[in-house]
Amino acid sequence: MKRVLVTGGSGFLGSWLCEKLLEQGHEVICVDNFYTGAKRNLYHLLDNPKFELIRHDVTFPLYVECDEIYNLACPASPVHYQRDPVQTVKTCVHGAINMLGLAKRLNAKILQASTSEVYGDPFIHPQVEEYWGNVNPIGIRSCYDEGKRCAETLFHCYWMQCGLPIKLIRIFNTYGPGMHPNDGRVVSNFILQALQNQDITIYGDGSQTRSFCYRDDLIDGMMRLMETPDTVTGPINIGNPDEFTILQLAKNVIELTDSQSKVIHMPLPFDDPKQRKPDIGKARKLLDWKPTTPLREGLLKTIDYFDDLLKSNPAFCL
């Protein structure tokens, strides 16, 4: 049994990670400032004696005792991270500095949840970990993209200079139950629009591609990386290599919800990547990992989640 700290633990991925760690018998300290996370994601865990919830902003130092740290704290959707870009950069950079300082004091293994956004609008396809990316440092997405890139640099420096056991994971588009209904991500947007028979909004002609990884598969890959020897530091891509156009996703959602929604097109936002697909060769080799949930199966589970959310409290989805 280990004591594990999860920052951003009330979020979409963090809350599921907390649940999986508890199922393995570990003690879990969940830290979140609830900027985008939702306490309702944790209600079913609050009575567990091995679970502790702390309201805290990682841009300030934290003094706890733990064996491992998963640093997931940061708004991850454009709607949220663009709302306060300065704070987004601070969360990425100051948060990484504070968590790395804590890990160094405790000699704790620490994992950084990085992102496929470090590749920007890539010139190579699929994206391999060795690719340095094509990122606009002063674009509307740069607070997140460059913040995460700097966090990776900090982690690598602590590993080189201090010998700190680090893990870097680059997360590609992930979806599933627990997603924030108003995060502006394409899966949650399409499902909520379809369930309410509203027009489904596609930016551009819909030919841009994404790869969609189901929540359970992503967390499984993350936990496998944490269990690797200290010589395995990453970065390692975790995502689904099956590629779909945004228009294909919209048609799938309309079919699975039996919706009357129509597709409408809006101008493509500036700096929106045209292609995003992971090369997961390293994850297969080093983690014996690959995603196992087909898109339609994952979409059905996510649709059920949002359908229940709409029925129980429509205000969540306004």
Catalytic machinery residues: 144
Q: Dihedral of CA 168/19/5/77: which sign?
A: positive
Cα-Cα-Cα-Cα torsion 261, 266, 271, 272, nearest 10 degrees, comes to: 20
Q: Which residues 6+ apart lie within 8 Å of 227 measured at CB?
A: none
- Cβ atoms within 10 Å of 43's Cβ, excluding its own: 10
Nearest to 235 by CA among 120, 74, 112, 121: 112
Cα–Cα distance for residue pair 72/41, rounded to 1 Å: 15
Spell out the alpha helix ranges (H) of 36-141: 78-81, 85-106
Q: Which residues 6+ apart lie within 8 Å of 79 measured at CB?
A: 182, 183, 184
